[in-house]
Amino acid sequence: LAVAALCAGARDFPGSKTVTLVVPFTAGGPTDRVARDLAEAMRKPLGGAVVVVDNAAGAGGSIGANKVAKAPADGYTLLLHHIGMATMPTLVRNIPFKVESDFEYVGLVNDVPMTVIAKPALPANNYRELVSWVNANKGKINLGNAGVGSASHLCGMLFQQALGVEMTAVPYKGTAPAMTDLMGGQIDLMCDQTTNTTGQIEAKKVKAYAVTSPKRLTTPALKDLPTMQEVGAKDFSVSIFHGLYAPKGTPAPVLKKLNDALKVALKDPEFIKKQEGTGAVVVTDQRMEPAGHKAFVAAEIAKWSPVIKAAGVYVD
Ligand code: MLT
């Protein structure tokens, strides 16, 4: 009887029940931006379901991820997370969940480049001048991020390595509040995703110095920014992928419905326009399939683990 009920539930999914998309950072930041755009684009293919975003922030994204890992495996609680799923296993020693076995991988959503930005009053006007300023202010520089495990933390770590200068990390529950403090001059520098920085760079509310993509970007406000590799950080290339996850054990028919809806969303012109308007690139390859998503995250874990270990960065 229980199995029959489960199958009926899966067949009717999502019905009139609300689907919750957990974002492990504060509202208004880059992860939240992707989630709200995606929720909008998945509503129709999910039969007009109500898809709400729940910002469960903190601990570099692991609080929100853990909330979904422990949620009922019925498809009504999903996680939208990024590269943190590949860096947390190495960065966070007592992580309360297993990235590779506590989740079902629904599919990948996009790839987002990052930008090295500064408070508007910082006197450097190009990357070379930024390096001089950093060297002249060693020991006094505040670098904003969204906690150990966040994309901004990973990029900030690589940036400090590239310059050979240690900075004071100022963690926030997301890079939306960090951006507010950066624009206000409370912190000096940050490395954040173009989904959160493009508008502020265009409005000249922050200064921008470089992009972390292997090639220059075409977004008008970002096209003149050099890549970190151009300015001499030869191994510096960071792209932030966002993926959709459900708790382990979510029924296969439900996962198929979610993946079908995701693939419709990824082809939605409105969704693509919103994403590409801020430098994000919507996934069009096998990574939109659960197997491709899972394989990609495993490869990213293998890629970043030695880099993080070499930096000696972790939290207990
Ligand atoms: C990060 O990892 O830096 C997050 O993207 C921050 C956020 O989404 O607020």
φ/ψ bin of 18: left (φ > 0), alpha (ψ from -120 to 50), beta (otherwise) = beta
Interface predicted TM-score (ipTM): 0.93
C-alpha distance across the termini of the chain, in Å:
45
DSSP code of residue 209: E
Say how far apart CA 57 and CA 61 lie, in whole Å. Answer: 6
Residue 31 Cβ inside 6 Å of ligand 1? The answer reads yes
C-alpha closest to that of 247 among 68, 89, 125 = 68
Residue 79 Cβ inside 6 Å of ligand 1? The answer reads no
Say how far apart CA 55 and CA 58 lie, in whole Å. Answer: 10
Dump pLDDT digits (tens) for 105-119: 999 999 999 999 999
Residue 175 Cβ inside 6 Å of ligand 1? The answer reads yes
Residues in the chain: 316
Q: Which atom of ligand 1 is nearest to the CA of 60?
A: 2
Give, in degrees to the nearest 5, the angle at Cα 169 between 163 and 173.
Answer: 135
Dump pLDDT digits (tens) for 251-300: 999 999 999 999 999 999 999 999 999 999 999 999 999 999 999 999 99
Residue 195 Cβ inside 6 Å of ligand 1? The answer reads no
To test the pocket of ligand 1, the residue of 26, 115, 175 to mutate (highest count of ligand atoms within 8 Å of its CB) is 175
Dump pLDDT digits (tens) for 177-220: 999 999 999 999 999 999 999 999 999 999 999 999 999 999 89
Dump pLDDT digits (tens) for 125-180: 999 999 999 999 999 999 999 999 999 999 999 999 999 999 999 999 999 999 99
Residue pair 287/298 in contact (Cβ under 8 Å)? The answer is no
> Is omega for the bond preceding 14 within 30 degrees of 0, making it cis?
yes
Residue pair 271/37 in contact (Cβ under 8 Å)? The answer is yes
